[in-house]
Each structure stands twice: as structure tokens, then as C-alpha cells.
Structure 1
């Protein structure tokens, strides 16, 4: 079973990754040195080599090969003694008792990126989706990762895929598309709850891609357009409501003050002429109204 096949295109060159070649060479060199040392000691004592000497040197070399181990900085070795957990070893060089102790698992404690996905997962409104995601996790307890689960990497990938299908099945297609961050958080919590007992912690879950069937692209586009028109009309009606409320307040103010209303008319007329650079033809009745008002006020002065 393959998870997140699309992520394989982003994998780096294997030659640029960290390797264990140096650690293996140290063990092999020490075993070869022990083999040659036994042969040299036998020759120095007996004066000649025989099949017995070669056999003894071979046994010593194999013993060194099985008892001397090297762990890299990010590795921890789970040591079993006669089938029971004994200790954790590493990093660096460590030794084990041949035939009694053995290194059953080397655990990588770096951050691990596991791509996974869900093909044709049904949403709550029965829309099949193809979702691609990536899980970042690490092993904080090598003992539990070895003794509590058979294959922790495969188990984590299966758990993540199951949680993804469950989360998609409880949400509509619009919620899955628009609430990706919340889906990431929900997946992280669901996976974390299952893998904590295995000595594993989940750092983050990120949705990489959501593929909607092509048959629904047109329908969803029409639905989005209708939603945009609806929102635009609601915004326009709310603006008209606010403007009408303001106009009502202004009308109430001008209804009690004729002078302010006349000044407002003159101001609007001036602004219109200034913006357009045009002339205004005023009816004679309009100018007589101002003259009449000034005639009323002159006797009082």
C-alpha cells in the first residue's frame, strides 16, 4: 500500500542523505582486527597456523562483530537480553554480550515526514474527494516504539489515513475546502491520541492538496457566484439602510431650520459648479426669493 504517491517527486537524492556506512565500517574493522590479532598471537606462540587457529580467530572475529556496535547521534538501540528488554544504548560506541544480548531495533529520533492520503473519501454530503497530506512526527520513547507496536512507521501511516477519512466523512465538501487549518488541527489531535501509547508524538499535520471531481467544478463555480451575488446584495441593502437612516436624521434637522437648508442648497450648487467647471442658469424667481428675504431684514437693521 502506498501513501502520498505525489510526494515522491519531492524526495531528495538518496546520495545526499545521512548514511550508516561509517558506523558499519568501524564494527567491521574492529572485527577484522580481532581476527588478525588472534592469528598473529597463535603464530607467535605455536610458530605455525592451522585450521584450528583459523577457526578460533573466526569465532573471535564474529564475537567482536556481534558485540561491538555504533549508534549515530540521532539513533538509539533497543537491547534485549534473553528476550527481555534490557536497556537503551547510544549514541556512540557500545558493547553487548554475544549470544545473550542483541540489538533488536535501531530507532531514528529525528523528525520523520510521512506522506499519506485518502482516495475517493466521501464527505457528509456524499462528494468523493482525493486528499493528499503529510504527517510530521518523531519517536520520543524507543522502548515503547519497539515493544508496543510491530511496525511503528506503518502503524502511524495507517492511523493518519484512517483519521483523515473519518474527518472528511464528518464534514461537507465546502467545510473541507474552506477550513483546511481546522482540519489539520483535528487530524493532529486524532492521530496524537492513538500513537502516544507507542512512544510517538505528532508535531504537525498539513493538508497538501484537495482534488474535487471535475464534474462538480461547474456546479461549485455557480454556487460560489450565487453566494457572491447574495453577499453583494446584502451589503448593498445594508448600505442603503444606513444611508436612509442618515438622510432621515438630516431631514429632521433641516425641517426646523430653513436658513441651514438654504445654505446647504447654495453649497451643493457651488460644489457642482466647481467640480464641473460649468455655469449655472438661475431662474428669476430664485433670485427674487433672496431679494425678498434681504428686504425683510433691512428695516430691522
Structure 2
């Protein structure tokens, strides 16, 4: 029998139920006694199903992750378990749950990169036994309950209002400081007040008389 493997495929060959070899891309001829499993070794990215996880302070949040992986050992991938992808998903979900359980709800979002690295470190060795090279894990979404989202929005608005109030107070303080400096200057130099009065009174009035009749 002829078997043609594409550049992104590998062929895992069995004969009488025993593993024989892994075929590289190209055309191969094997007898009818051989069974060839085609395995796609291209990198892939996908998101396992989201899950609601309680944090250390008892808040239930929804977290999703993105995985990037590829089949590194086709023979191991075919033989290790009946559903390697499902096994990988379960490992990631358990590691994610463990990472979130140790943090409060307000720590999870700002610890995305740390949580992703913890998952990768925890799962990578186990994934290798499945013939999978787990290359990257990223925390994509952290969704808080509606009540907490409203509270967070209120907090942001309060901070913005506080900043605006502070800027107004700074402007008023600067104006008062200028007036105080002017008052002190006038007190120390009374002649400046007289000079200012003269400048104010120094107004030229032009009175235009109509021409006298001739």
C-alpha cells in the first residue's frame, strides 16, 4: 500500500499492533499488514473552555487561557492516551485553578503573566509525556462578577474626580500665593502702591470740539 505524507504530517506505523516507526513527509510503500496513523505536527493555538474559579477571598471569577502547542513526538502522541488534547486541557485547567485559588480577586488581573508562567511550568513536563510541546500559555480574559465591575467603575470615577479636585485646589493655591506675594511686596515697598495708582490714573481724554460756524 502507498502512503503519501504532506510536509506537515508524520506517519506512525504499527504492524500486528506493535509500533514500528515514524515516517517522514513523502511517499512510502508499506504492506497491508501495516497500519499508518497520519499525525498533523503543525503548531496550533486554541482556548480551552472557560471556568468559574473562586479566589482566596471567596469571589467567583471567570478566567480563560490561550494555549500554543505542537506535537513533538508523534509516536508518543498516538500511544500515550486516547485523547491527548483533552488530557492537555484538563492539566491546564487544574493548573489555572490552583494559581487563581492562591490569589485575591484584585490580584488575578494584574498577575496574568505570572499565572501564565506558573501554568506553563506546571504542565510542560506532563505535556511532554503526551508527545506535546507546550510552547506558550497566556491568560486572555479575567471577568469579574457584575457587582465588582460596577464597584471598580465607581472607584475609577471617584479617582478621576479626586484628581480634578486636586488640580482645582492647586490652581487656587497658586492664585492665593501670588496675591500674598503682592501684598507682602506692597507692604515692604509702599511707593509701589503710589506708582500703581499713578499708572491707573494716567488716562488721556481727548475732547473733540465741533468746528465753529463761520
Distance (whole Å) between structure 1 residues aligned to residue 76 and residue 147 of structure 2: 47
More helix by share: 1
Kept in 2: contact 1:70–1:90 (CA 8 A):
no
- In structure 1, the residue matched to 2:78 is 146
- In structure 2, the residue matched to 1:199 is 131
**Correspondence list, 1:238-253, <5 A:** none
Distance (whole Å) between structure 1 residues aligned to residue 131 and residue 96 of structure 2: 21
Q: CA deviation at 1:122?
A: 0.8
Moved over 2 A (4+): 217-226, 279-284
Computed over aligned residues only, the root mean square deviation of the Cα atoms, in angstroms, reads 2.8
Note the residue ranges of structure 2 that are not aligned, 5 or more in a row.
Answer: 164-177, 191-214
Kept in 2: contact 1:144–1:197 (CA 8 A):
yes
Counterpart secondary structure, 1:116: coil
Question: Are positions 1:71 and 2:39 aligned together?
Answer: no
Aligned length: 171
In structure 2, which of residues 34, 38, 41 is the aligned counterpart of residue 101 of structure 1? Answer: 34
Larger Rg: 1
1:86-142 Cα shifts (integer Å, max 9, x gaps): 0011201111111x1111x22111111121143221111111111121100111111
**Correspondence list, 1:27-176, <5 A:** 67-98=1-32, 100-103=33-36, 105-176=37-108
Distance (whole Å) between structure 1 residues aligned to residue 155 and residue 56 of structure 2: 18
Kept in 2: contact 1:117–1:130 (CA 8 A):
no
More strand by share: 2
Q: CA deviation at 1:281?
A: 5.2
Distance (whole Å) between structure 2 residues aligned to residue 173 and residue 108 of structure 1: 39
Higher RCO, 1 vs 2 (CA within 8 Å, ≥6 residues apart): 2
Q: Compute the TM-score of the two structures, normalised by the length of structure 2.
A: 0.71
Distance verdict in 2 for CA 1:95–1:282, change over 3 Å: same
Counterpart secondary structure, 1:87: strand
Counterpart secondary structure, 2:56: coil
Q: Compute the TM-score of the two structures, normalised by the length of structure 1.
A: 0.51
Counterpart secondary structure, 2:48: strand
- In structure 2, the residue matched to 1:282 is 188
Q: CA deviation at 1:193?
A: 2.6
Distance (whole Å) between structure 2 residues aligned to residue 119 and residue 152 of structure 1: 20
